[in-house]
Amino acid sequence: MEQTLPTRAHRGDELTLTIDTLAHGGAGVARRDGYVVFVQGGIPGDTVRAVVGKAKRAYAEARAVEIITPSPDRIEPLADHPGAPWQVIPYAKQLEIKQEQVDDSLRRIGKLDGYTLEPIIPAVQEWRYRNKLEYSFGTDDSGQLICGFHTPGHWEDIVEVTDCMLASEAGNKAREEVVAWCRAQGLGAYDRRTSEGFLRNLVVREGRRTGEIQVRLVTSPGKLDSDSLIQATPSANGLLWTRLESLGETTMGGQTALLSGAEQLEEELGGLRVSISAEAFFQTNTEMAEQLYALAIEYAELKGYERLFDLYCGIGTIGLLMAPRAAELWGLEIVEDAIADAIKNARANEIDNTNFFAGDVRLVLRELVEKAGRPDVLVVDPPRAGLSQKVVRRVIEAAPKRIVYVSCNPTTLAPNAAQLVEAGYELTKVRPVDMFPQTPHVECVAQLERRSG
């Protein structure tokens, strides 16, 4: 009997859909005669009018343009903010969904079971929790310079933000000072269609414990009246200027000059005093980073005699918090500035059983094992893409007794964990941590133990 294929959608179609569930990444999931449509802006229980942007044989991607019948769970948004797509979902429900999605990733993608899924740790603050925001410059319909975020699904358009509800009042003030100065100077925004123009991005970073503010203006090559910019930004403890020639949307690379104040941001985390370079990675929710790292320390189960490896160590935060509980720490990170920060942070906190090296984990982990010996405990905190299969193989070769995997994406944790389980490890427990309220992102910490025999 010939199987009837579901009726596929086409680009530009307007569909009336009822959202059933939420996909990983936050899109609503609707089904139309067996055909799956992922709908940005829809939550379970909504009936929406949606416009299809991308259509394939098995599924389509669409954007809700009208909520016809709102979900019983839907609440009024607090902020006109594309960076808070889940703000229409009650916070308790957000936590429930994130917990379920971590479990679903491990079971469905990783084909894993037998682990203990511990309850999600909720955020300390539901709003104004970010210590770093990257804004983009643009131009509104009247030709005025604006600063905000990309419109979802439109890389070339910017939505102006006047009060970013994810930033503190101090962070908002710093942004406003720079934008006001740029307007007074008559500076124009970089045009992402033509690759012409000057102002690209504004990065505002805050020491939540120290109160310090670091401001970095990212532009195309050109001239800047740095003296007047310094006068116009009294909120900044450190003011930097990055000039980029690349065409893509990035705040990394280029030439960065310190205009005034301190080159590094000072912060405190879990009793550590740390210095953070402009391009170094640091968890963007300080209060929840403390809870995330406390959980990693708990899962490491250090007794004091262990050799500890910290891969993708960044400025060394996790490792330095663990080092007093271990015999020795070896940290590895590809960003040289971050390693310089890690060494400086170890000295500043008088932690002397540490060794930090700059290098690609994929290429130099074998060499580190030869130099330091096999680790007893290995902590890994990779980027959202997770670990490549080659890096997982290198970790397996290193043969740590215990692995603590700090993940910012359960859909990449799952295949990594499955590869480790296949190689002789047991996934013992996992706990989600809500670092980013009002968004679909969820972090978690997983513990894997090497099976004996």
Taken in order of first residue, the domains within the chain and their CATH numbers are: 1-74 (2.40.50.140), 94-125+285-450 (3.40.50.150), 132-268 (2.40.50.1070)
- Residue bearing the bigger pLDDT, 281 or 163: 163
* Residue 3 pLDDT exceeds 50: no
Percent of the chain with pLDDT over 70: 98
What's the pLDDT at 1? Answer: 37
Which residue from 72, 67, 73, 29 is spatially nearest to 50, judged by alpha carbons? Answer: 67
* pTM listed for this prediction: 0.90
* Residue 6 pLDDT exceeds 70: no
What's the pLDDT at 208? Answer: 95
What's the pLDDT at 151? Answer: 78
- Give the tokens for residue 212: 């310090």
Point out the catalytic residue in the list 147, 313, 408, 444. Answer: 408
- SS3 category, 407: strand
Binning pLDDT at 50, 70 and 90, where does residue 2 land?
A: very low
pLDDT tens track for 141-200: 899 999 999 876 666 788 899 899 999 999 999 999 999 999 999 999 998 888 889 999
Residues 130-144: what's their mean pLDDT?
Answer: 93
Residues 431-436: what's their mean pLDDT?
Answer: 97
Name the H helices within 63-213: 91-104, 169-185
What's the pLDDT at 155? Answer: 67
Beta bridge partners of 405: 380, 446
Let me know how long the chain is: 453
* Residue 134 pLDDT exceeds 50: yes
Among the residue ranges 19-28, 91-100, 225-234, the one predicted with the least confidence is 19-28
Dist CA 343 CA 429 (whole Å)? 32
Name the H helices within 301-434: 317-322, 336-348, 361-372, 389-398, 410-422
* Residue 44 pLDDT exceeds 60: yes
* Residue 4 pLDDT exceeds 50: no
* Residue 9 pLDDT exceeds 90: no
- Measured between alpha carbons, how far apart are the two ends of the chain, in Å? 51
- Give the tokens for residue 413: 């944790």
Beta bridge partners of 329: 308, 354
* Residue 45 pLDDT exceeds 90: yes
Beta bridge partners of 150: 158
Dihedral-angle region of residue 64 (phi above 0 means left; psi in -120 to 50 means alpha; beta otherwise): beta
- 313 flagged as catalytic: no
pLDDT tens track for 76-114: 999 887 889 999 999 999 999 999 999 999 999 999 999
Q: What are phi and psi of 174, to 5 degrees?
A: -60, -45
- Residue bearing the bigger pLDDT, 166 or 57: 166
Binning pLDDT at 50, 70 and 90, where does residue 245 land?
A: confident
Cα 14 from chain centroid (whole Å): 33
